[in-house]
């Protein structure tokens, strides 16, 4: 498939917020050319007139639990522990692999509406998560979620081997759920795996004050210091959430070149707190943005997350100039890609994978065109996503999905699953 | 014009979050019937199959400065005073009435995309604001913005008389900019006007810590206590923002039956702080939600504001159960309508004005249908607004505007205005 998108504004993300006018050429899964419009006799399967709209790298949803779509708006406005113990865990116990396949597809559809071209997904059954993504044509990096109650270190190693060879759209990173759900022996074995494969490790980290306090009590260390002590970060990796971090924790992240995945929507809705994003930037820490799962957020929308990253930082720092829009846009694209190991999907350029979106500027919320990158972060919304392309294929265009399944079918299945659980 | 919308889920907002299945009949500007589907021989100009989608009252944007669209993304990430003095005021000084007409239309378009059916607009030239709204078919309540530098009390009285008789879509409320921009003599004269007409009074109130501290220094009272002492609230009214409120301030709001208009997007982006919305609810204070102007927010989107109202309250209270979704939805519709004096536009019912929206539930972010009102508040977005009707007329449907002007023309004018200012 050869696609040419011309008459476009293009934000390559290779030179800050600089926008060029021109065209982008996609050949198979990769970008062949980005630059001024040129004429030649190439035969195209499709030529798209962007009409002056903006082409940019797709957003990377760097932390999520996709299949939790079934619990969207099922349990809200509850204190965190009630929410987890009384609502989430009992319902999750009923899920089958097949359910997770269907529910993951619903999440993929929502990602596409928000211009998200890849997710970093921690959930229960890698086999059907990978299958759902491949069937949709979507890019997924899976993360291990080992803990005392589900997934074993043997499974983790098997998945690491299997899903890094499985399909060009799929990869797998070592990981566990969190320090507070995973005993020391298991953590030591995961650390050994990381050393064996020279592989980064990811986990929930310092999401709530309580989690940090309990770890201090148990180990005499913060979760970050404890995990570091166990050698879990010797080959990089990172933490999801990272809300309640000490200066020393941030220094460990900087020294070990770890990534923070910030999840402001979830942290807000579950009253977890505001992550110190400005302090992370000051230390040069790489930051990605994640929606977290639809049970806690409840939506999978990078536009909302981007506004929250900057808005909450401004509130926390009591400074309207904190964490500006361009830094946020970088996190949502390049920062996320780097965290996820998707270094071929970070920017638009020759040889990079064609994971990109078109932003419709001809909507009231994008006008006037004073500053396009600020418009995207401060006033952008799903209504502006005109096209989402993953691996060179258009999966979403003008509100329609091209993922090999009718939307109604996905909706029906999701409703049937949650209904059957609550009978 | 007679319109029937059938096969609908209907959230009337008359009985909490109860949703009925049936139809709604609109005759001219008013709702003739809401209830179960019925057959008769009425001849309809248009019958719309809602396909199971949700009909609900339109959102009320209860505080905005619409024409500031020209400054969207023009000046961001700046401390508040630099933003105001170096960017906003010098640019506003260049605006003509005609500019405000064009720029207000751009805002109206954005309101429609977000399901907003009325705005409470404080800006410079009521004559062209009213004209723009009427020309679009949009409902606007204008608020006086008197201060030491612009608008006089004589003009305020004239506008109060003129624009409460002008057109069925337009009304006018007494108001001034804020305590910190308006001298005591002017405030006393506005208080006298309020007493003369038995009319409520609205103003910015306690938006920043600095504003409150300066008022304390100047008057020995908080802004709320000071304005109350001047008799400004003897006939009701309310305050925009109300971020830094004392217990006594809230008690004055409760006792005088004043409305708070909360503006979380703007308060976040300008680092003003988090309003004590849970405490306001506990005191039984009526609350509406406003986007504030597009220079400070930067978008005019009730979905983003709704999530922020509940999310920020949860963070402030350190409690995930604070200010639940149904309360937020009430503020965004009924609460706002009451604050603005639009008591005929608050809910869906026989004889009420037909200001309503259709929410497309057949999008991934609304699935599964576990809880529709929570879905709207926690995961709703502009992509779900299938139709916006004001005063019985459809002004927006499936992404298209029916406001008597081509969108491109509005965009071109907005770009031309800001370009001419920055040459």
- B419 found inside a domain: no
Q: Does A382 touch chain B (CB under 8 A)?
A: yes
**Claim to verify: residue A71 and residue A30 sit in the same structural domain:** no
**Claim to verify: residue B24 and residue B68 sit in the same structural domain:** no
CATH number of the domain that residue A113 is part of? 3.20.20.140
The overall average pLDDT reported for chain A is 96
Dihedral class, residue A371 (left if φ above 0, else alpha if ψ from -120 to 50, else beta)? beta
B194-250 pLDDT, tens digit per residue, is 999 999 999 999 999 999 999 999 999 999 999 999 999 999 999 999 999 999 999
Residue A112 and residue B364: Cα distance in Å, rounded? Answer: 10
- B270 found inside a domain: yes
Residues A364, B79: C-beta atoms closer than 8 Å:
no
Q: How far is A119 from chain B (nearest CA, A)?
A: 16
- B116 found inside a domain: yes
B116-127 pLDDT, tens digit per residue, is 999 999 999 999
Q: Does B19 touch chain A (CB under 8 A)?
A: no
**With a CB-CB cutoff of 8 Å, which residues 74-113 of chain A face chain B?**
74, 76-80, 83, 106-107, 109-110, 113
A108-124 pLDDT, tens digit per residue, is 999 999 999 999 999 99
Which of A315, A339, A363 represents a domain boundary (last residue)? A339
**With a CB-CB cutoff of 8 Å, which residues 313-352 of chain B face chain A?**
314-315, 317-322, 324-325
DSSP state of B347: S
B126-149 pLDDT, tens digit per residue, is 999 999 999 999 999 999 999 999
Q: How far is B376 from chain A (nearest CA, A)?
A: 9
Q: What are the structure tokens assigned to B228, written together?
A: 């109350």
The burial class, CB within 10 Å (0-12 / 13-18 / 19+), for A318 is: exposed
Q: How far is A165 from chain B (nearest CA, A)?
A: 30
Residues A320, B78: C-beta atoms closer than 8 Å:
yes
Q: Is a pLDDT exceeding 80 seen at residue A291?
A: yes
For chain A, how many residues are written?
Answer: 423
Q: What is the mean pLDDT of residues A30-38?
A: 97
**Claim to verify: residue A104 and residue A228 sit in the same structural domain:** yes
Residue B89: the pLDDT is 86
**Nearest residue in chain A measured CA to CA from B266:** A311
- B345 found inside a domain: no
Q: How far is A369 from chain B (nearest CA, A)?
A: 7
**Nearest residue in chain B measured CA to CA from A303:** B304
- CB neighbourhood size of B383 (10 A): 23
For CA atoms B72, A369, A399, A97, give the dihedral sign.
negative
Residue A215 and residue B58: Cα distance in Å, rounded? Answer: 48
Residues B320, A77: C-beta atoms closer than 8 Å:
yes
**With a CB-CB cutoff of 8 Å, which residues 36-75 of chain A face chain B?**
69-74
Q: What is the mean pLDDT of residues B278-304?
A: 96
Q: Which of A264, A368, A369, A388 to mutate to test the interface with B (most CBs of B within 10 A)?
A: A368
**Claim to verify: residue B174 and residue B247 sit in the same structural domain:** yes
Residue A204 and residue A387: Cα distance in Å, rounded? Answer: 32
Contact A381, B301 (CB under 8 A): yes
Residue B86: the pLDDT is 85
Q: What is the mean pLDDT of residues B373-382?
A: 97
Q: Is a pLDDT exceeding 80 seen at residue B292?
A: yes
Helix (H) or strand (E) holding B172: strand B170-178
- CB neighbourhood size of B96 (10 A): 12
**Claim to verify: residue B188 and residue B330 sit in the same structural domain:** yes
Residue A423: the pLDDT is 66
Percentage of chain B exceeding pLDDT 70: 99
Residue A337: the pLDDT is 98
Give the structural domain span for B83. 59-339
Residues B274, A315: C-beta atoms closer than 8 Å:
yes
Residue B169: the pLDDT is 98
Residues of B within 8 A of A110 (CB-CB) are: 364-365
Residues B378, A271: C-beta atoms closer than 8 Å:
no
Task: Tally the C-alpha atoms within 13 A of residue B181's C-alpha that lie toward its C-beta.
Answer: 17
Identity of the residue in A324, A375, A382 whose CB atom sits nearest the CB atom of B72? A375
Sequential DSSP letters for A336-360: HHHHTT-TTSSS--TTSB--EEEE-
Identity of the residue in A273, A367, A370 whose CB atom sits nearest the CB atom of B411? A367
Q: What is the mean pLDDT of residues B336-363?
A: 98
Residues B304, A304: C-beta atoms closer than 8 Å:
yes
Identity of the residue in A69, A301, A315 whose CB atom sits nearest the CB atom of B381? A301
**With a CB-CB cutoff of 8 Å, which residues 108-137 of chain A face chain B?**
109-110, 113
Q: How far is B326 from chain A (nearest CA, A)?
A: 10
A59-A65-A71-A72 Cα dihedral, nearest 10 degrees: -10
**Claim to verify: residue B183 and residue B272 sit in the same structural domain:** yes
Residue A309 and residue A396: Cα distance in Å, rounded? Answer: 26
CATH number of the domain that residue B26 is part of? 2.30.40.10
Residues B368, A70: C-beta atoms closer than 8 Å:
yes
Q: Does B398 touch chain A (CB under 8 A)?
A: no
For CA atoms A92, A95, A98, A103, give the dihedral sign.
negative
Residues of B within 8 A of A274 (CB-CB) are: 315
> Domain count of chain A?
2
The overall average pLDDT reported for chain B is 96
Give B423's pLDDT tier (boundaries 50, 70, 90).
low
Residues A304, B301: C-beta atoms closer than 8 Å:
no
- A326 found inside a domain: yes
Residues A367, B69: C-beta atoms closer than 8 Å:
yes
Percentage of chain A exceeding pLDDT 90: 94
Q: How far is A69 from chain B (nearest CA, A)?
A: 7
**Claim to verify: residue A286 and residue A229 sit in the same structural domain:** yes
Residues B383, A381: C-beta atoms closer than 8 Å:
yes
Backbone angles phi, psi at A268, to 5 degrees: -75, -50
Which of A302, A321, A339 represents a domain boundary (last residue)? A339
Q: Which of A77, A86, A296 to mutate to test the interface with B (most CBs of B within 10 A)?
A: A77
- B423 found inside a domain: no
- A179 found inside a domain: yes
**Claim to verify: residue B83 and residue B20 sit in the same structural domain:** no
Residues B311, A269: C-beta atoms closer than 8 Å:
yes
Q: How far is B321 from chain A (nearest CA, A)?
A: 4
Residue B303: the pLDDT is 98
- Which residue's structure tokens are 């009925």? B20
Sequential DSSP letters for A157-218: HHHHHHHTSS-TTEEEEEEEEEGGGS-HHHHHHHHHHHHHHT--EEEEES-SHHHHHHHHHH
B302-344 pLDDT, tens digit per residue, is 999 999 999 999 999 999 999 999 999 999 999 999 999 999 9
Identity of the residue in B319, B368, B407 whose CB atom sits nearest the CB atom of A362? B407
For chain B, how many residues are written?
Answer: 423
Q: What is the mean pLDDT of residues A362-382?
A: 97
- A375 found inside a domain: yes
Identity of the residue in B273, B310, B375 whose CB atom sits nearest the CB atom of A73? B375
Residues of B within 8 A of A367 (CB-CB) are: 69, 72, 106, 410-411, 414-415
How would you classify the pairing of strands A201-205 and B259-262?
unpaired
**Claim to verify: residue B230 and residue B368 sit in the same structural domain:** no
- Residues pairing with B205 in the sheet: B241
**With a CB-CB cutoff of 8 Å, which residues 214-273 of chain B face chain A?**
265, 268-271, 273
**Nearest residue in chain A measured CA to CA from B296:** A378
Helix (H) or strand (E) holding B98: helix B97-113
B22-59 pLDDT, tens digit per residue, is 999 999 999 999 999 998 899 999 999 999 999 999 99
Q: Does A378 touch chain B (CB under 8 A)?
A: yes
- Which residue's structure tokens are 């890019």? A139
Residue A217 and residue B79: Cα distance in Å, rounded? Answer: 41
Q: How far, in Å, are B99, B227, B329 from residue B93 at the CA level? A: 12, 28, 37
Backbone angles phi, psi at A306, to 5 degrees: -65, -45
Identity of the residue in A378, A407, A418 whose CB atom sits nearest the CB atom of B76? A378
Give A86's pLDDT tier (boundaries 50, 70, 90).
confident
Residues A271, B318: C-beta atoms closer than 8 Å:
yes
Residues of A within 8 A of B277 (CB-CB) are: none
ipTM score: 0.97
DSSP state of B63: E
Contact B247, B240 (CB under 8 A): no
**Claim to verify: residue B162 and residue B249 sit in the same structural domain:** yes
Residue B299 and residue A413: Cα distance in Å, rounded? Answer: 35
Contact B334, B289 (CB under 8 A): no
Residue B159 and residue B209: Cα distance in Å, rounded? Answer: 32
Q: What is the mean pLDDT of residues A313-341?
A: 97
Identity of the residue in B110, B271, B320 whose CB atom sits nearest the CB atom of A271? B320
B167-202 pLDDT, tens digit per residue, is 999 999 999 999 999 999 999 999 999 999 999 999
Q: Is a pLDDT exceeding 70 seen at residue B275?
A: yes
**Claim to verify: residue A243 and residue A362 sit in the same structural domain:** no
B158-B164-B165-B169 Cα dihedral, nearest 10 degrees: 130
Residues A301, B365: C-beta atoms closer than 8 Å:
yes
Q: Does B407 touch chain A (CB under 8 A)?
A: yes
Residue B221 and residue B14: Cα distance in Å, rounded? Answer: 39
**Nearest residue in chain A measured CA to CA from B299:** A379
**Claim to verify: residue A334 and residue A376 sit in the same structural domain:** no
Q: Is a pLDDT exceeding 80 seen at residue A47?
A: yes
């Amino acid at each position: 498939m050869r696609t040419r998108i011309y008459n476009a504004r293009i934000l390559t993300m290779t030179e800050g917020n600089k926008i060029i006018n021109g065209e982008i050429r996609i050949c198979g899964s990769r970008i062949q050319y980005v630059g001024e419009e040129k004429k030649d006799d190439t035969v195209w399967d499709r030529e798209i007139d962007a009409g002056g709209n903006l082409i940019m790298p797709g957003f990377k949803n760097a932390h999520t639990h996709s299949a939790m779509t079934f619990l969207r708006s099922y349990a809200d406005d509850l204190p965190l522990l009630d929410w987890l113990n009384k609502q989430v865990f009992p319902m999750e116990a009923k899920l089958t692999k097949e359910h997770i396949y269907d529910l993951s597809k619903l999440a993929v559809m929502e990602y596409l509406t928000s211009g998200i071209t890849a997710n970093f997904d921690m959930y229960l059954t890698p086999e059907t998560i990978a299958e759902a993504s491949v069937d949709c044509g979507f890019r997924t990096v899976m993360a291990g979620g080992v803990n005392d109650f589900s997934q074993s270190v043997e499974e983790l190693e098997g998945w690491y081997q299997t899903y890094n060879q499985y399909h060009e759209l799929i990869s797998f990173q070592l990981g566990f759920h969190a320090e507070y759900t995973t005993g020391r022996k298991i953590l030591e074995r995961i650390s050994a795996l990381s050393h064996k494969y020279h592989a980064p490790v990811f986990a929930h980290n310092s999401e709530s004050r309580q989690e940090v306090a309990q770890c201090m009590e148990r180990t005499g260390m913060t979760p970050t210091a404890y995990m570091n002590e166990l050698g879990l970060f010797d080959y990089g990796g990172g933490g999801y959430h990272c809300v309640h971090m000490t200066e020393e924790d941030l220094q460990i992240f900087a020294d070990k070149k770890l990534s923070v995945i910030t999840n402001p929507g979830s942290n807000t809705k579950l009253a977890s707190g505001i992550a110190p994003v400005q302090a992370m930037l000051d230390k040069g820490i790489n930051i990605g943005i994640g929606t977290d799962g639809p049970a806690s957020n409840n939506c999978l929308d990078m536009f909302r997350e981007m506004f929250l990253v900057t808005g909450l930082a401004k509130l926390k720092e009591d400074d309207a100039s904190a964490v500006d829009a361009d830094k946020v846009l970088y996190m949502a694209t390049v920062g996320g890609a780097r965290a996820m190991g998707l270094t071929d999907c970070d920017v638009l350029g020759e040889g990079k994978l064609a994971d990109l979106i078109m932003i419709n500027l001809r909507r009231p919320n994008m006008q006037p065109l004073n500053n396009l990158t600020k418009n995207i972060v401060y006033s952008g919304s799903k209504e502006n996503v005109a096209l989402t392309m993953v691996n060179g294929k258009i999966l979403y265009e003008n509100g329609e999905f091209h993922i090999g399944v009718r939307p109604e079918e996905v909706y029906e299945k999701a409703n049937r699953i949650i209904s059957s659980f609550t009978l």
